[in-house]
Chain A
Amino acid sequence: MTLSKELVAASTIPLVLSLLAHDDSYGYALIKRIRELSGERIAWSDGMLYPVLRRLESQGLIASYWNKAPSGRRRRYYRIETPGRQELDRLIEQWSLVSTVFTRLQKESPPCSN
């Protein structure tokens, strides 16, 4: 099973914000972490992450800074800002609402089966 394109697009921002809420990180590490956590089933195409990060930064939800990577190259790290945390709370609420409704529906009425 893999996620549909639409669901990937909708879940990218909450996932990125959640990851950054734990710890500052950089592009490649974010993608690797999602791959690991989803058991390789959420496979973002790497490139699509960057426009999302730019947008979140321009909205002030996250901020970026440069640091030296162990390899010696300079690396751009991202950290979550206060508005980002507030947005994350909002998104988590929305996702759990959908999830709750979904779960209840599954319990109350069995799926249609002819």
Chain B
Amino acid sequence: MKNIFVRVDDRLLHGQVVVSWIPYLKANEVVIADDEYANDEFMRELIRSSGPEGVTVHVKTIDETAAYLSDDNKNRILVLLKSINGLKELLKKVKISNINIGGVGAADGRKRYYNSIHLSDNELNILKDIANDNINVEVRILPKDKAIVIKGN
């Protein structure tokens, strides 16, 4: 699935993504994979309307996203997830070869690892488990940044 790029960023569709990632990936479709927002009509419409011109924005539950990505699709799709737990759920349902960690804010129980990436022990373990499955997991905030690859155990 070369045309799919998955990013964990708790700000979802925002400045860095709109200005840097979407043009860099030449993405013409964005899927926000988030159960809460997919079930909230206000947020769904709000997010759908926030994309740049020429880019279709979908807001789907994790299950819907997995089904959508499994279908044959010629579009260049950027998938955005709010959390590492959400990523874990998505990966149970669909095979993805590359994962980008782009923004995880500070919170209780989380340690700052790099720039705007804060992780709890549990979240770091999830990422290591994913890396163990031969999935490439990189920390990269902007396209021009050097990717930091997370290694498995």
Are A and B physically bound partners? Answer: no
